[in-house]
Amino acid sequence: MFGTLNRLQARIVAFFKKEEHDRELDSELESHLYLLVEENIRRGLPPDEAQRVARLKLGNVASLREEHRETRGLPIVDTLLQDLRFTFRILRRDLGFAVFAILIMGLGIGASALIFSVVNTLLLRPLPFKDANSLVWIANKKSVPEQTTQVGNLLDAREANKSFLEMAAYFAYYSVGDRKLTGESEPERLTAVPVSENFFHVLGVEPQLGRVFSADECAINGPPAVIVTNSLWRRRFASDPNLVGKTLRLNERSVTVVGVMPAAFDFASVFAPGSRVDLYSPFPLTPETDRMGNTSAIIGRLKPGATIEGAQAEFNILGPHLHEQHPERNEFQPLLSPLKEHVTSRLRLALIVLACAVAVVMLIVCANLSNLLLARNASRQKEMAIRVALGAARSRLIRQTLTESVVLSGAGAVTGVVVALIGVRILTRLDALSIPLLSNLQIDLVVLGFTLLIAFVTGITIGIVPALQVPASGINESLKDSNRGSSASRKHTWLRSSLVVTEIAFASLLLIGAGLLLRSFLRVLDVDLGFQPEQVATIRIEPGAGYGTQAKRNAYFDEVLRLVQSTPGIESSGLTDVLPLEGDRSWGVAAKGQVYDKDNYPEAFVRIVSDGYLKTMGIPILSGRDFTDRDSPNSEQVIIVNETLARRLWPGQDPIGQMVTQDGGRRVVGVVGGVRHVTVEQDSGNEMYIPIRQTTDFAAVELVMRTTLSRASLPSTIRSAVKPLNLNLGTSEFRTVQQLVDKATSPRRFVVMMLTGFSTFALILAALGIYAVISYSVHQRTQEIGIRMALGESARRLQMRIIRQTLRLAIIGVVIGLTASWFMTRALSGLLFGVTATDPASFIGTVTVLLVVAAAAGYFPARRASQIDPIAALRSN
Amino acid sequence: MTEIRSEIMQGTLDLMVLQTLNAMGPMHGYGIARRIEQLSENALVVNQGTIYLCLVRLLQKKWIKASWGTSENNRKAKFYSISKAGQKQLKTETEDWERISGVIGRLLQLTPGR
C-alpha cells in the first residue's frame, strides 16, 4: 500500500521535473551505450559492428524514453494536456462554429440552471424555518376558502391534542395598508399581520433586535406594540440600531417597537406571495377574537417522532368532538398538510412542466450540436485515417473528440451561469409575480454543481456519436481521394438525418405544449370576469380618526363622492371595502323564514359598497336597482345579491322584495351578475352587497373611479379635487383594477412566457439543423445534380425535389412528435383552462408551423443547388 | 525481441535487481544489466534498456537509492544502491519464493501411482 502511495507521490513530483529527468535518462543511456560498445570492441568486433550490436542490445531508445516518461510521471495528465492543447488549436481554426456552439449551449444550460434553481427553491429546499419538515399547515374544510379556523377551536385543539409541540396562528384577514404611519417624514400606509404570541417561536425564528411579544401585549387591549420587518427597518428607518423601544404613530395611536425581524425571515414570500408585509402586531386569542369567526390560519410543529398521518387521525376525531361540545361555534374539519406542500403545491405541476420542457430543449441542443460535430468530423476523416495509420489508438482518438465536445460544453456552462444569473436577477425583481419564495432564488453551490453536471453530460452526449465515427477499419477508403457514395458516408447521412428528425420531434412536443398553455392563457384572459377592469383606477380613502361616528363618516362619504363625481374626466365613482381578486370574507346568510340543516347553511362573499360602485366596476344589474344615497341608517335596511345567491335562497322565485336575516332583516332590492373574485379561473359563488352607509362592519375603504384621464394626470387631478376635505392622499397609491387582474394571472403568464421562449429557441435550432443537413446532402450530390441539370432538369423541378426531401424529413419528425404528444399532454391537464389535452387547434397549428419552417430552411440550399453550374459540377469529384 | 511486460516478470526482474544490489553493492545501470544477463544465462533481459524502467519503479517505491558518481573509466554515471526498505522487501520476497518452491518441489516429488 505504501508502495503505491510512494509511487503516486513520486509520479507527481516527476511530472513537474520532466526536462530534468529526460536529460538524466539521456546521459545514462549514453553512458550505457558507450560501455556496451567498449565491451563489444573488447570482444573483438570492429568499431561500426560494435556500435550496431550495442544499439540493438540497448533497444529502441525513442520508445524507451516514452515508456520511461509513462512509468515515472502522470501519463493521464500528459495526454489530457495534449488533448486540450490540440482542442484549442482546432477550435481556433473553426471559430465560427465554436462561438455558435458555445452560445447555443450557454442558452440551453443557462435556462436549465435557472429552472433548476426555481425548482430547487420551491420544491426541493426546505422552507427557511428551523426544522421546516416538522411544520404542518392546519386547514379547515368547513371554512371558506378552507384555510381558517375559529379562535375558540384553535385554543381547544391546542389543549387537547397530543401530536403537536405547539400550535401558532396568524390573523388571515388582515387588511393591506390599513396602518397609517404618521410622524417625522412622509406619511405612509403599512400592512400589519397580527400573529399569536408563540408564532415566531413555532417557526424557530429569533428577532434580530429586541424581542417577541410578551403575554400582556397579546392580551386584548394590552399595551400597543409592533415588531418591524427587516425590509421596513432598512427602508423606512435606515437600519436604525436603536429602533427598539421607540414609539411610532400608527392610526393616531402611539405604538412601541419591541423588535426587528432578521432579513432571512420573509413572511410575505412564504404566506402571501406577491405582497408586502411591514409590521407584525399581536393577535390575542380571546373571546373577542373568537367572535370574529374563522379567522386564524394555524401552523403547528409536530412532536419529535409524531407523524402527520397520526396527527390527521387524531384531529379527525377532535374536530367533531369540539363541535359537539360547542355547537354554537363554526364547525372544524381539520385538514393537515406539510407546510412546504401548502406553500408550493399550487405551482408543483407548472414547475414540473417547465423542468421537462427545459430538459427537452437540452436534448434538442445536444442533437443539433452532435449533428454539427458529425459534419465537422466528416471533413476530418482523412486526418483521422492518417493518425490511425501512424499508430494512434482508436481509444485515443475517441478521447480527443470527447475532449473537444467537453471543452465546448464547459465554455457553454460558463456562459450558461452568466445567463442564469441574469435570469435570477430579473425574476427576483419581478414582484408582479405572486410566486412564493421567489425572493429566496439564488445561484448557490447546488445550482453550480448541477450546471457542471449538465455541462459534462451534454459534452459527452454531443461527442459520443461523432467520436464513435472514428474509423476502426476501412482506413483505405478514407485515404482515397473520392469517397463519395461509400457505405460509410451513406451511414453518415442517415445518422445526421435521424438526428434532425429527433430534433423536429422534440420541437413539435414543445410547440404543442406551448400552444396548449398559450391558448389556455388566452382563454383565461378572455374569461368574463363579471366586471370591466379597463379604465378603472382605485385608491385607499379611509376616513381618519376624526370621523368617529357613523353620521360623520357617512357625511364624509357623501362629500368624497360628490367631489370626485364632479371632476371632469371621471365617468363614475364608488366605494368598496374589498376589491375583486384582492381579498375575501364570507358570512352565513339566511332567507327569512327558511330553515337549513347544519351542513347546508348558505354562505356568501360580502362586499360593503356605496352607490355607484356597481356602475363603476361595470357589474351588470340584472333586476331591481343599485343603492342610492338615500339608503341611509334611517331608511329601510337593504341588500343586493348576485344571481347565484338568489337562486340558492329563492329558487324559482323573484328575489326582489325578499328578506334576509342579516342585521335584523334586510330587503333585497337588486340582483347583479356574478364577479370572479377568488381567481380568474373560478366562478363567483354566492355574493352579497351591503350599503356602506348602513353598516360599520368594514376595515378599509377603496375609492374606485372609471375615468378617461391618463395614468399620469389622474393622481394630481384627484388630489386637487378632494383638497377641501384635507385628506392626506399622499400616503396612498393609485392603482388600476387591471393591475389586480394581471397579478392574479401572473403565475400562468410566467409559465406561458417561459414555454414560448423555449419553443421559439427549439424551433430555431430545428430549422438550423434542417438547413445544415440539407445543405450537406446537396453538397454530397453535386455531381448527380450536375448530371441532371445537364440532362435538362429545370431549376424549378430541382428545387421542388429538394424541398420535398426536406418535408419528408420534417413530416417524419412531426408524426413522431405528435404521437408522443398525444400521450403526454394528459399530464398537462391540471394547467389547462378551456382547452382539452388534445386540442386540435394546437396540434394543427404546430404541424403547420413546423412544416412551413422546414420548407423555409430547405429553400436556401435548394436555391443554391439550382444555381450550380452543371459543367463545374460534372468536373468536381 | 521479447519484452518483459507482465506483472510477474516485472516482479522477478525487481527481485533480481534488488538481489544484485544487495550482493554487489552500488552499481550503475550497465553493470546491473550485465550481471543479470550473466546470472540468468541471457534468458531474462534481452533488451537492456528496459532495466531503466525497472530502476525507476524501484526508485519510486523507495526500495533503492540513486546518486551520481564516476564509473571505472571516469565517466559520469548514476549509481544505484539498495535501501533499508529494499533490503526488507528482498528478505520477504526471498522467503516467499523459497516457500513456494518448497511446496512445488514436494508436489513434483509425488510420483503417479503412489
pLDDT for A294-322, tens place per residue?
888 999 999 998 888 989 999 998 888 88
Residue A6 C-alpha, separation from nearest chain B C-alpha, in angstroms? 6
Q: Integer distance in angstroms from the first to the last C-alpha of chain B?
A: 43
Indicate whether this complex's ipTM tops 0.95.
no
DSSP at A120: I
**pTM, full prediction:** 0.76
* Interface touch A64/B78, C-beta < 8 Å: no
Residue A649: closest CA among A600, A599, A694: A600
Q: Which residue of B has its CA nearest to A37?
A: B30
| Cβ-Cβ contacts under 8 Å for A761 (sequence gap 6 or more) | A107, A108, A111, A361
Determine contact: A25 vs chain B, CB below 8 A.
yes
Residue recorded with cell 485515417: A385
**From CA A225, how far away is CA A245, in angstroms rounded?**
10
Q: Are strands A225-228 and A253-260 parallel, antiparallel or unpaired?
A: parallel
Of B33, B52, B75, the CB nearest to A34: B75
Q: Are strands A225-228 and A279-282 parallel, antiparallel or unpaired?
A: antiparallel
The helix (run of H) or strand (run of E) holding residue A817 is helix A795-824
- Quick count: other Cβ atoms within 10 Å of Cβ A628? 15
Residue A76: closest CA among A430, A418, A403, A467: A403
* Helix (H/G/I), strand (E/B), else coil: A641: strand
* Interface touch A57/B61, C-beta < 8 Å: no
Of A3, A27, A58, the CB nearest to B61: A3
Q: Between vectors from CA A670 to CA A667 and to CA A673, what angle results, nearest 5°?
A: 135
- Chain A residues with beta carbon closer than 8 angstroms to that of B61: 3, 6-7
Determine contact: A553 vs chain B, CB below 8 A.
no
pLDDT of residue A186: 76
A220 near A284, Cβ under 8 Å? Answer: yes
**From CA A489, how far away is CA B38, in angstroms rounded?**
59
Question: What is the grid cell recorded at A196?
Answer: 399569536
**From CA A594, how far away is CA A571, in angstroms rounded?**
41
Q: Integer distance in angstroms from the first to the last C-alpha of chain A?
A: 62
A204 near A131, Cβ under 8 Å? Answer: yes
Half-sphere exposure (CA, 13 Å, Cβ side) for A478?
A: 21
* Interface touch B49/A61, C-beta < 8 Å: yes
| Cβ-Cβ contacts under 8 Å for A635 (sequence gap 6 or more) | none
Q: Which residue has the higher pLDDT, A654 or B71?
A: A654
**From CA A642, how far away is CA A659, in angstroms rounded?**
14
- Quick count: other Cβ atoms within 10 Å of Cβ A198? 18
Determine contact: B69 vs chain A, CB below 8 A.
no
* Helix (H/G/I), strand (E/B), else coil: A164: strand
**From CA A851, how far away is CA A807, in angstroms rounded?**
7
Confidence of residue B1 (pLDDT cuts 50, 70, 90): very low
Residue B106 C-alpha, separation from nearest chain A C-alpha, in angstroms? 33
Q: Which of residues 58-87 of A touch B (CB under 8 A)?
A: 58-61, 64, 67-68, 71-72
B2, B7, B13, B30: best to mutate for the A interface, most A CBs within 10 A? B30
Residue A398: closest CA among A319, A466, A338: A466
- Quick count: other Cβ atoms within 10 Å of Cβ A324? 8
Residue B59: closest CA among A79, A25, A36, A64: A25
Secondary structure percentages of chain A, helix, strand, coil, to 5: 55, 15, 30
* Interface touch A68/B30, C-beta < 8 Å: no
Which residues of chain A are under the pLDDT cut of 50? Answer: 483, 485
A219 near A284, Cβ under 8 Å? Answer: yes
Residue recorded with cell 387521525: A313
* Helix (H/G/I), strand (E/B), else coil: A43: helix
**From CA A194, how far away is CA A170, in angstroms rounded?**
6
* Interface touch B52/A34, C-beta < 8 Å: no
Q: Which residue has the higher pLDDT, A510 or B12?
A: A510
Q: Write b or e for each residue in B91-109: b if 16 or more Cβ atoms lie within 10 A of its Cβ, otherwise e.
A: eebeeeeeeeeeeeeeeee
Residue A390 C-alpha, separation from nearest chain B C-alpha, in angstroms? 22
Q: Amino acid identity, residue B101?
A: S
pLDDT of residue B2: 44
pLDDT of residue A414: 92
| Cβ-Cβ contacts under 8 Å for A68 (sequence gap 6 or more) | A21, A25, B52, B53, B56
Question: What is the grid cell recorded at A355?
Answer: 423542468
Determine contact: A27 vs chain B, CB below 8 A.
yes
* Interface touch A32/B30, C-beta < 8 Å: yes
**From CA A613, how far away is CA A687, in angstroms rounded?**
15
DSSP string covering A423-487, please? HHHHHHH-TTS--TTGGG----HHHHHHHHHHHHHHHHHHHHHHHTTS-SS-HHHHHSS--TT-H
Strand partners, A487: none
